[in-house]
Amino acid sequence: MRSADVIAISEPFNGPRKVDADTLIRKVADTLHRLNQQIATAVEAGVTIELMRGSRFHNGRGQWGDQMIPIVRIAETPRENERE
């Protein structure tokens, strides 16, 4: 009997590739970082932004994620006749 080299295979041949959770978490973190940058830019321009949970997504297997909606208030600028 001959010995054979064993090659490690990270996924089965007959199924879809398993989702890489680390990659998905990194994508969410990157997107959140970009959102935070945009919020800071908007606040500097005079806008107030609050994020509120709009819904909660459940996958039916015990995991969930909050989905957010923005509450935006734009600072009122004085009218021409009010400045005088």
Instruction: Decide if 10 is inside a domain.
Output: no
Q: pLDDT band at 76, cuts 50/70/90?
A: confident
Give a yes or no: residue 7 inside a domain: no
| Domain membership flag for residue 79 | yes
Range of the domain at 59: 21-83
Is residue 63, in this structure, part of any structural domain at all? yes
7-44 pLDDT, tens digit each: 665 655 555 556 788 899 999 999 999 999 999 999 99
- Is residue 38 domain-resident? yes
**Other CB atoms closer than 10 Å to residue 47's CB: what's the count?**
14
Give yes or no for residue 63 having a pLDDT over 60: yes
Task: With beta carbons less than 8 A apart as the criterion, state whether 19 and 31 touch.
Answer: no
Which residues make Cβ contacts (< 8 Å) with residue 49, sequence separation at least 6?
A: 39, 42, 43, 70, 71, 72, 73
Asked whether the predicted pLDDT for residue 84 surpasses 60, the reply is no
